[in-house]
């Protein structure tokens, strides 16, 4: 009787462990399809950033939105710009330096109801500013991080230091005290690709579900950061023989010439997930439902006006991308508008809204239909020009 009870408890424990490590494999066998943007988008808002003639934005590194303000980090100038939701310029602040309230090189920004947070990677600190960019306090970090995300209560950082005993992801409270850590560094793997960071959005945060997802750099793995504060493998993308090996080292991998495919960006909606990946310098997207059903895998484009689809951030149910004015010429001409020559090098934000009702009916075997009309969204807000 005792032996039977012990055996039963062993099986129960084993089944619980399997349950906790369960994840879904998403097979991507065919991604040669092409789909017009108006098949999956309900509208696009094009927002001109009205910058004074006395300044400019060099390269948009990161973006954050809080209420009616847009915060933009310029990677070249190391300035932080603030605009309202109509694209009107509010202020530009540059705190580059080594003094109090200054950063050596800002690489990521976040904001909430209390502060604007700027991550200084070489300075190993997270700097707190108020919403007008006045310095409040700086918190020192004991590790090198290139990206972070505000969760419901704390901060989730990536750790770029491949050192024995370290962990790749660190969970810290608002005072930078350790709450937890995830995915240990394994010396036998050698120098991995983790320290290179990622080319796309590493973290997501869904305010309605209180869930966060992260993509391991140069991998096919997507992890879920649960409301309970635990990290678990949620999805593994199977690209067949082009799936990047889990333990590939830097010496064996060249991103520009690699035959392997890895995830770049990942976006989380309530009922859908979207990810992007590169193959032979071409960007592809995969949409799949929360029920793990693949809806679409292939290119997303507007063949008539060449309006770019390259989202880099997410705000609620909208995706956000950037482009220069020169890429909007055909689009505006289709709307009967003219782009002034002086606008060709100006910065614009593109807010993409998905057709969620339409996506539910598409299914995996979707074939792109040739659309002979110009793509003019149901609702389009074009500010400026």
What would the pLDDT profile of 19-74 be if each residue is shown by its tens digit? 345 888 989 988 988 989 988 898 899 999 999 999 999 999 999 999 899 999 99
pLDDT less than 70: residues of the chain? 1-21, 164, 186-201, 246-256, 291, 357-385
The whole-number pLDDT of residue 76 equals 95
The whole-number pLDDT of residue 252 equals 61
Joined together, the tokens standing for residue 68 give 């009616």
What string of DSSP letters covers 240-302? GGGBPPTT-BGGG--TTT-S-B-EEEEEE-SSEEEEEEEETTEEEEEEEETT--EEEEEEEE-
The whole-number pLDDT of residue 362 equals 55
Give the CA dihedral 225, 226, 230, 235, nearest 10 degrees: -50
The whole-number pLDDT of residue 369 equals 33
The whole-number pLDDT of residue 32 equals 86
How far is Cα of residue 168 from the mean position of the Cα atoms in its chain?
18
The whole-number pLDDT of residue 19 equals 37
How far CA 356 is from CA of 58, 143, 224, 288, 351, in Å, comes to: 35, 40, 22, 12, 15
Residue in 319, 340, 330, 354 with CA at minimum distance from that of residue 385 = 340
The whole-number pLDDT of residue 371 equals 31
pTM over 0.95, yes/no = no
The whole-number pLDDT of residue 127 equals 98
The whole-number pLDDT of residue 256 equals 66
Q: What domains can you pick out in the chain, each with its CATH number? A: 22-383 (2.120.10.30)
The whole-number pLDDT of residue 367 equals 34
The whole-number pLDDT of residue 119 equals 97
């Amino acid at each position: 009787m005792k032996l039977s009870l012990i055996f039963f408890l062993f099986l129960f424990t084993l089944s619980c462990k399997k349950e906790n490590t369960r994840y879904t494999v998403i097979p991507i066998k065919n991604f040669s399809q092409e789909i017009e943007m108006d098949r999956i988008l309900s509208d696009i808002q094009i927002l001109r950033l009205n910058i004074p003639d006395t300044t400019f934005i060099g390269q948009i590194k990161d973006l954050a939105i809080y209420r009616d303000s847009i915060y933009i980090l310029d990677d070249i100038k190391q300035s932080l710009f603030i605009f309202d939701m109509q694209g009107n310029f509010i202020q530009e602040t540059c705190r580059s330096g080594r003094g109090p309230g200054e950063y050596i090189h800002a690489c990521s920004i976040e904001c909430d109801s209390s502060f604007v947070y700027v991550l200084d990677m070489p300075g190993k600190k997270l700097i707190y500013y108020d919403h007008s960019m006045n310095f409040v306090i700086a918190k020192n970090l004991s590790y090198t991080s290139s990206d972070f995300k505000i969760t419901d209560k704390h901060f989730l950082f990536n750790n770029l230091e491949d050192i024995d005993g370290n962990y790749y992801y660190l969970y810290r409270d608002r005072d930078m005290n350790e709450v937890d850590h995830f995915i240990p560094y394994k010396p036998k793997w050698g120098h991995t690709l983790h320290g290179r960071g990622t080319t796309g959005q590493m973290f997501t945060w869904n305010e309605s579900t209180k869930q966060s997802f992260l993509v391991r750099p140069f991998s096919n793995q997507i992890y879920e950061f649960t409301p309970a504060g635990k990290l678990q493998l949620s999805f593994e993308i199977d690209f067949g023989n082009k799936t990047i090996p889990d333990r590939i080292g830097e010496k064996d991998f060249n991103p520009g010439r690699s035959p392997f495919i890895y995830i770049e960006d990942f976006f989380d909606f309530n009922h859908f997930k979207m990810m992007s990946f590169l193959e032979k310098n071409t960007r592809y997207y995969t949409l799949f439902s929360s029920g793990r059903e693949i809806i679409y895998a292939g290119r997303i484009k507007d063949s008539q006006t060449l309006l770019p689809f390259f989202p880099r951030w997410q705000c609620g149910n909208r995706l956000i991308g950037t482009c220069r004015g020169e890429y909007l010429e055909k689009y505006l001409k289709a709307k009967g508008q003219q782009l002034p020559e002086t606008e060709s090098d100006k910065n614009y934000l593109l807010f993409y809204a998905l057709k969620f009702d339409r996506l539910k009916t598409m299914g995996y075997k979707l074939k792109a239909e040739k659309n002979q009309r110009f793509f003019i969204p149901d609702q389009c807000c074009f500010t400026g020009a």
